[in-house]
Chains A and B, each alone.
Chain A
Amino acid sequence: MKHPQLLFKNRIPGETVFFDGYRKSGGYEGLEKTIKSMSPAEVTELVKASGLCGRGGAGFPTGTKWSFFPSDQPGPKYLVCNCDEMEPGTYKDGVLLRTDPHQLIEGMIITAYALQTPEAYVFIRYAYEDCAQNLERAVAEAKEAGYLGKDILGSGFSCEIHVHRSAGRYICGEETALLSGLEGRRPNPRLKPPFPAVRGLFDRPTTVNNVETLANIQHIVTGGADWFKSLALTEEGAGTKLFGLSGHLEKTECFELPLGVTLDEIVNEHGGGVRGGKKFKACLPGGASTPYLAANHLDVPLDFTAITRAGSRLGTAGVTVFDEETCMVAVTLNLIRFFARESCGWCTPCRDGLPYVAWLLEQFEQGEATEEHLENLRGQFRNIAGRSFCALAEGAMGPVEGLFNCFEEELVDHIKKGRCPFK
């Protein structure tokens, strides 16, 4: 099924669209419209009405987040774009920036106007050097054209965008850790409250948004809130979403699909079905930190609400598929090892608890697990989720939660057989 394309409308595989191409496709019209005919508050209201939810993983309504921002407070204020995409199975922001980087720049300028922040940063991980260069070129082109810099389009509003290459780690995706990192400190998460909108970057009011979230803004401005909402296939959803497919599929690519598309359509139509004609066993629907969905969930529409009812989260919509021959205990162990390694080491449950969960899962994989290990694993899941300083450990427990929800018998099977049944 062909779906309407916003973010990928200019997509030509292997190529990047810069200023001329972007302008030809209607680029910067949203900015012109904003600057010439809208007040900052009107932009925020529009985004609120559009129902746009944050595309970075948490799915928090963007307009609501902006409405907390003290845009009329004097002194420095900041907009920060989170481009520290490092979750296993998530790569959509990279694709977006390799495809059409000006969308982010335009979205950021409109957002900066809405929030009245004269300074904006893109926090981009070092591994995305090509994307950073794309952005730097886009920034230079936008400045050249008068869309960025001092007194944009004669409006009196000025905005600078800085591209900051971070040494980035997974924890930098946590917005307060990102701010610590951007300040040149160790990227440890910070206490909330105060929230970044009150005390963020350099202790000043700050809003942090994801790349894809910001790239949607000018489309909302030009197309309107109602149109944006209508793009989704479900009542609760709004807009389109970049789905990054990976794992045991015939086609592992990034697609722009409406929110609310079913898992079945993603797997069997866009993903070309499970690789080698095997059966679908499970998937991570939204990156490494989301609980698994299994074969009985194929009819679940993927938007922020419906998927929660199915016991998982949409997260970043990085869909990783596992076929019938995959050991889900092994998958979980692999994921937990990643989270344990990426823990910043700040709080006890995450720093010391995750390696322990990994150790427990190793016992299963090595065929040395007992009933006691099973109960310990169940207990740890409860001890860590909701007990840690930030959301990293909570996210790390997502796959463990999924393991218990959908595949507990597989754990038991490991104990009974005294080995991994898939080996």
Chain B
Amino acid sequence: MVNLTIDGKEITVSKTATIYEAAKEAGIDIPVLCYAKKLLPYGACRVCLVEVEQMKGRLIPSCTTPVTEGMVVTTMSDEIQKVRKTVLEFLLVNHVIDCPVCDKGGECDLQDLTYEYEVVTNRFEGEKFDLPTDEVNPLIERNMNRCVLCGKCVRVCDEIVGYGSYSFINRGFETKIATAFDRGLNCEFCGQCVSMCPVGAILPRPFKFKARPWQIKEVDSVCSYCGNGCTITMGVKDNKVQTIRFNDKIGVNDGNLCIRGRFGYSYANSDDRLTTPLIKKDGELVEASWDEALEAVAEGFKKAAADKGVGIISGARLTNEELFLLKNVAKAIGTENLDHSGGECYKGVTEGLVETLGVKASTGTFPQVEDADVILSIRSDFYETHPVFGMVVNQAVKRNEAQLFIVADKKGKFGKLPNAETLLHKPALEVNVLNAMAQALIEDGSAVTDGVDGLDELKKSLADYAPEKVAAATGVPAEQIKAAAKALAGANKSAILLAYGLPYTAQSKEIAVAAANLAILSGNVDKEGSNLYLCGEKANSQGAIDLGVIPAGSGQGAQQMLDAAAAGSLSALYVVGEDMVTSYPDREKVEKALDGAGFVVAQDLFLSPTAQKADVVLPAASFAEKDGTFTNAERRIQRVHPGITSPGEAKTDYAIFELLANKLGAGLSYTGPAAVFAALANEVDAYKGVEFNAIGAQGVVWGGEELKAATKKVVPVKGAAAVDGKFVLLTGSALYHSGTVSTHAKGPVAVVPEAYVEFGSEDATVLQVADGDMIKIKANGAEVQLKAKVDKRLPQGVVFAPYHFAEAGLNKLYKGEAAIAVEVSK
């Protein structure tokens, strides 16, 4: 700690603090333009200059100067006032004064400082820039005439996002921020630059001319897309979410968001939203009242329950409270057939972890990853599935020089980082590589074996996975496997990241077990600050696991229900918040099941292909309309707050479940989400003691920052055989989308409007495929046509197609395999 005096106030701060940070802590305001807490010190704008008694003769930039013992700082004097005013005059020389039409007006740092320092006239004259506005893309507008060259956009894109879209170009007065070759912006559109811009130079286009900042109501909530659980602050006006506001004060994401969080909110405002219940009459879905619809549902379920039974399949974007009520509805119906997310993607991984470590959740929290010195990311570079968590990984690697090993079937953005290596394996062979890493640790004697159960059997089974042997099968060099294993075991703090979700159903359990084996053998499980992370695809994937939205007793899981319904041995299906037809593996089976079940109820925001097959459709609410909690991939229970009311007659799932339960005669009588949470906390051990209204801005991490593994049991697990075929198709998440709901959001759709099939550049050259060519893909007796996209991520013979799009019908091709051989033709 360091003691210093600022404006006569004696303060003690950490020795790594800058003068600016020390002043801020002491409640003393120093103006800044180019400073940002999460970026490296910069010191370019020069409005934060202060006087330091020990450094007389010049003014000191407070945002870059570290504090020293006994420093005496003055933050305001005539001299300082004059200099700051001059800097503002300089900035205003070439700045267009178009505040009346600038969206930033009212919350612009330059405007505020100009006002504060009373820069009424400008002594300086100079030319105004007249640069064209970059409006090539639909999401981010750049008006460089308003730029103050603080460089925050350049830095955030490089330091945090790891994309590097921007750079300074030219010199002197002509200096400006530009993209490569000064063309239109063409990037990942996460909008981090939008959030960092202190002026109106970079703005969200969908928000243009929508509202003045002071007309907006801010509502903090949690993003509804992935399991990252980012805080998003909705900017609400006219009962619409107009924008997502920058907020780095609360939550897990430090103000960082991806395109889904920043621009994907708009599905809540979509004109395609269902606004009234629908009942199928003469093969047509027609509008109905809630009373009619609920009556029909209750009647239908009662009848079905008495016949061959009812199956309930839910999504994982419902709140914890809603999932709990759904369980009650299941009880009211009298069915034990309850499951979520296809019954596969969560099941395998949780079973795998329970068998080995005795837990079914991440053992650590995200900030611990930033301190890790070795990170093993399985399945992807993590950016693609959980972008904001990916930004944490990026900082761990770039700033803290962590080593990153990516076990994946395609290359990713982070593979290019200086300390990163991709263990690029042939499709479907993750387990083989992980096993080989485990075997390498056993071979070189560095495996942690104290208190580990099942070692002998594991050793026997791993004999088949010598790195050299696995290298030949997977294409990952044995040396690389050994080096990664060695680094992981030698780490002071390690992090093992495993993403799961609907498109990754195959071998879920095997991968989880192999990862857990490795966590045990490398000492990850024992070391403080070392953790295994299980990251779900949906906003409340962890909540659904915690609450046990799974078949009870002799109940059927999702796939069994679908099989049963298809075979005519299940009388009704209740599908809540899932578009199974689009997103579940094996579309044919799903369609057969929906046709085979006598009575289908779909509860959704949109008339999805699944809802179209329903007998009754119940219009549900989006996250923006809900009160409740989500649990993210760190086990953090966070509050979701409603910002708007539902369109038309749409109701929250909470309200629908309550009404339905009452219709079924179960008489649920909770006074609201708080009461439901109290009831569920009573039933779910992990949530015991957590009080709904006491969940603060940072949420509550159940089980604490580090969850201790209950057991340390290594379990033999078999790898897979390579997929034979000239081309192998992978499916998965595209960076811009999440599940199917993002296909109704203007932002993600603007960037990736439709499905595509991605080729590596080598294959594209051989096949003479160019971007936009229509490609036929055949497998399992089905054929789909997709537009080609050529990139450099995929190895030869591997193609990739994202699974989010209904029309593409990708799930006609695959039936849940990790990868399939396909025929590819133009």
The answer to whether the Cβ of A383 comes within 8 Å of any Cβ in the partner chain is yes
> Quick one: which of A155-195 are within 8 Å of B by CB?
169, 171, 186, 188, 191, 193
Query: Closest chain A residue to B61 by CB distance?
Result: A389
Q: Mark B46-69, 1 if CB is under 8 A from A, else 0.
A: 110100000001110100101000
Q: Is A376 touching B123 in the complex (CB atoms < 8 A)?
A: yes
The answer to whether the Cβ of A388 comes within 8 Å of any Cβ in the partner chain is yes
- Known contacts A169-B171, A342-B171; A352/B90 CB under 8 A: yes
Choose among A342, A355, A379 the residue with the greatest number of B CB atoms under 10 Å from its CB: A355
The answer to whether the Cβ of B36 comes within 8 Å of any Cβ in the partner chain is no
CB < 8 Å: which of A186, A345, A376 contacts B172? A345
Give Cα A351–Cα B90 distance, bound, in whole angstroms: 9
Query: Closest chain A residue to B125 by CB distance?
Result: A359
- Known contacts A347-B44, A348-B45, A356-B93; A186/B59 CB under 8 A: no
The answer to whether the Cβ of A341 comes within 8 Å of any Cβ in the partner chain is yes
Give Cα A207–Cα B170 distance, bound, in whole angstroms: 28
Give Cα A351–Cα B91 distance, bound, in whole angstroms: 10
Give Cα A341–Cα B66 distance, bound, in whole angstroms: 32
> Quick one: which of A336-366 are within 8 Å of B by CB?
340-349, 351-356, 359
Query: Closest chain A residue to B95 by CB distance?
Result: A352
Q: Is B172 touching A343 in the complex (CB atoms < 8 A)?
A: yes
- With a cutoff of 8 Å between Cβ atoms, the chain B residues found around residue A169 in the complex are 171
A344 to chain B, nearest CB (A): 6
A375 to chain B, nearest CB (A): 10
Q: Is A356 touching B126 in the complex (CB atoms < 8 A)?
A: yes
The answer to whether the Cβ of A88 comes within 8 Å of any Cβ in the partner chain is no
A383 to chain B, nearest CB (A): 5
- With a cutoff of 8 Å between Cβ atoms, the chain B residues found around residue A193 in the complex are 66
Give Cα A387–Cα B171 distance, bound, in whole angstroms: 19
Give Cα A359–Cα B59 distance, bound, in whole angstroms: 25
Q: Mark B75-86, 1 if CB is under 8 A from A, else 0.
A: 000000011001
Q: Is B172 touching A342 in the complex (CB atoms < 8 A)?
A: yes
- With a cutoff of 8 Å between Cβ atoms, the chain B residues found around residue A191 in the complex are 41-43, 64
CB < 8 Å: which of A345, A355, A388 contacts B168? A345
Q: Is A355 touching B58 in the complex (CB atoms < 8 A)?
A: no
- With a cutoff of 8 Å between Cβ atoms, the chain A residues found around residue B125 in the complex are 359
- With a cutoff of 8 Å between Cβ atoms, the chain A residues found around residue B66 in the complex are 193
Query: Closest chain B residue to A385 by CB distance?
Result: B58
Give Cα A359–Cα B93 distance, bound, in whole angstroms: 12
Q: Mark B526-564, 1 if CB is under 8 A from A, else 0.
A: 000000000000000000000000000000000000000
Q: Is A351 touching B149 in the complex (CB atoms < 8 A)?
A: yes
- With a cutoff of 8 Å between Cβ atoms, the chain B residues found around residue A386 in the complex are 57-59
> Quick one: which of B85-141 are within 8 Å of A by CB?
86-87, 90-91, 93-94, 123-126
- With a cutoff of 8 Å between Cβ atoms, the chain A residues found around residue B57 in the complex are 386
Q: Give the interface SS of chain A, mostly helix, strand, loop or mixed.
A: helix
- Known contacts A345-B175, A359-B126; A388/B46 CB under 8 A: yes
Q: Is B58 touching A387 in the complex (CB atoms < 8 A)?
A: yes
- With a cutoff of 8 Å between Cβ atoms, the chain A residues found around residue B170 in the complex are 345
- With a cutoff of 8 Å between Cβ atoms, the chain B residues found around residue A349 in the complex are 46, 86-87, 90
A168 to chain B, nearest CB (A): 12
- With a cutoff of 8 Å between Cβ atoms, the chain B residues found around residue A341 in the complex are 171-172
CB < 8 Å: which of A340, A352, A379 contacts B91? A352
CB < 8 Å: which of B43, B47, B171 contacts A344? B171
Choose among A191, A351, A380, A386 the residue with the greatest number of B CB atoms under 10 Å from its CB: A351
Q: Is A351 touching B64 in the complex (CB atoms < 8 A)?
A: no
Q: Is A345 touching B171 in the complex (CB atoms < 8 A)?
A: yes
Q: Is A345 touching B174 in the complex (CB atoms < 8 A)?
A: yes
- With a cutoff of 8 Å between Cβ atoms, the chain A residues found around residue B174 in the complex are 345
- Known contacts A191-B43, A352-B90, A359-B126; A387/B167 CB under 8 A: no
A58 to chain B, nearest CB (A): 16
The answer to whether the Cβ of B173 comes within 8 Å of any Cβ in the partner chain is yes
Give Cα A388–Cα B45 distance, bound, in whole angstroms: 9
CB < 8 Å: which of B43, B64, B93, B168 contacts A352? B93
A336 to chain B, nearest CB (A): 11
- With a cutoff of 8 Å between Cβ atoms, the chain A residues found around residue B93 in the complex are 352, 356
CB < 8 Å: which of B42, B46, B94 contacts A387? B46
A167 to chain B, nearest CB (A): 12
Q: Is A186 touching B90 in the complex (CB atoms < 8 A)?
A: no
Give Cα A347–Cα B63 distance, bound, in whole angstroms: 13
CB < 8 Å: which of B47, B123, B172 contacts A351? B172
- Known contacts A169-B171, A353-B90; A346/B64 CB under 8 A: no
B638 to chain A, nearest CB (A): 37
B174 to chain A, nearest CB (A): 7
Q: Is B126 touching A355 in the complex (CB atoms < 8 A)?
A: yes
Q: Mark A292-312, 1 if CB is under 8 A from B, else 0.
A: 000000000000000000000
Q: Is A352 touching B167 in the complex (CB atoms < 8 A)?
A: no
- With a cutoff of 8 Å between Cβ atoms, the chain A residues found around residue B173 in the complex are 340, 343, 345, 351-352, 354-355
- With a cutoff of 8 Å between Cβ atoms, the chain A residues found around residue B41 in the complex are 191
B44 to chain A, nearest CB (A): 5
Choose among B59, B91, B171 the residue with the greatest number of A CB atoms under 10 Å from its CB: B171
- With a cutoff of 8 Å between Cβ atoms, the chain A residues found around residue B172 in the complex are 340-345, 351, 354-355
A319 to chain B, nearest CB (A): 27
Give Cα A354–Cα B174 distance, bound, in whole angstroms: 12
Q: Mark B139-183, 1 if CB is under 8 A from A, else 0.
A: 000000000110100000000000000011011111100000000
- With a cutoff of 8 Å between Cβ atoms, the chain A residues found around residue B126 in the complex are 352, 355-356, 359
> Quick one: which of B399-418 are within 8 Å of A by CB?
none
> Quick one: which of B486-526 are within 8 Å of A by CB?
none
- Known contacts A191-B43, A355-B173, A389-B43; A348/B168 CB under 8 A: no
Query: Closest chain A residue to B123 by CB distance?
Result: A376
Query: Closest chain B residue to A345 by CB distance?
Result: B175
CB < 8 Å: which of A355, A376, A380, A389 contacts B44? A389
Give Cα A355–Cα B129 distance, bound, in whole angstroms: 14
- With a cutoff of 8 Å between Cβ atoms, the chain A residues found around residue B90 in the complex are 348-349, 351-353, 356
Q: Is B44 touching A348 in the complex (CB atoms < 8 A)?
A: yes
Q: Is A347 touching B168 in the complex (CB atoms < 8 A)?
A: no
Query: Closest chain A residue to B82 by CB distance?
Result: A383
Give Cα A383–Cα B79 distance, bound, in whole angstroms: 9
Q: Mark A364-398, 1 if CB is under 8 A from B, else 0.
A: 00000000000010011001001111000000000
B155 to chain A, nearest CB (A): 12
Give Cα A169–Cα B174 distance, bound, in whole angstroms: 15
Give Cα A171–Cα B91 distance, bound, in whole angstroms: 22
Query: Closest chain A residue to B49 by CB distance?
Result: A387
B282 to chain A, nearest CB (A): 69
- With a cutoff of 8 Å between Cβ atoms, the chain B residues found around residue A389 in the complex are 43-44, 46, 61
Give Cα A387–Cα B84 distance, bound, in whole angstroms: 10
Query: Closest chain A residue to B85 by CB distance?
Result: A383
Q: Is B43 touching A387 in the complex (CB atoms < 8 A)?
A: no
Give Cα A340–Cα B126 distance, bound, in whole angstroms: 13
Query: Closest chain A residue to B150 by CB distance?
Result: A348
- With a cutoff of 8 Å between Cβ atoms, the chain A residues found around residue B123 in the complex are 376
Give Cα A171–Cα B780 distance, bound, in whole angstroms: 63
Q: Which residues of chain B have a CB within 8 Å of any CB of chain A?
A: 41-47, 49, 57-59, 61, 64, 66, 82-83, 86-87, 90-91, 93-94, 123-126, 148-149, 151, 167-168, 170-175
Provide 19 A-B residue pairs closer than 8 Å at the C-beta atoms, listed in order of the A residue.
Answer: A186-B167, A341-B172, A343-B175, A344-B175, A345-B175, A347-B44, A348-B91, A348-B148, A349-B86, A349-B87, A351-B172, A352-B126, A352-B173, A354-B172, A355-B126, A355-B172, A386-B57, A386-B58, A387-B46
Q: Which residues of chain A have a CB within 8 Å of any CB of chain B?
A: 169, 171, 186, 188, 191, 193, 340-349, 351-356, 359, 376, 379-380, 383, 386-389
Given pairs A348-B47, A387-B46, 18 additional interface contacts (CB within 8 A) = A191-B42, A341-B172, A342-B171, A345-B175, A346-B44, A346-B168, A349-B90, A351-B172, A351-B175, A353-B86, A355-B173, A380-B86, A383-B83, A386-B57, A387-B49, A388-B46, A389-B43, A389-B46
Q: What 10 pairs across the A-B complex have the smallest Cβ distances?
A: A345-B175, A352-B90, A386-B58, A343-B172, A355-B173, A347-B44, A383-B86, A348-B87, A356-B124, A346-B44
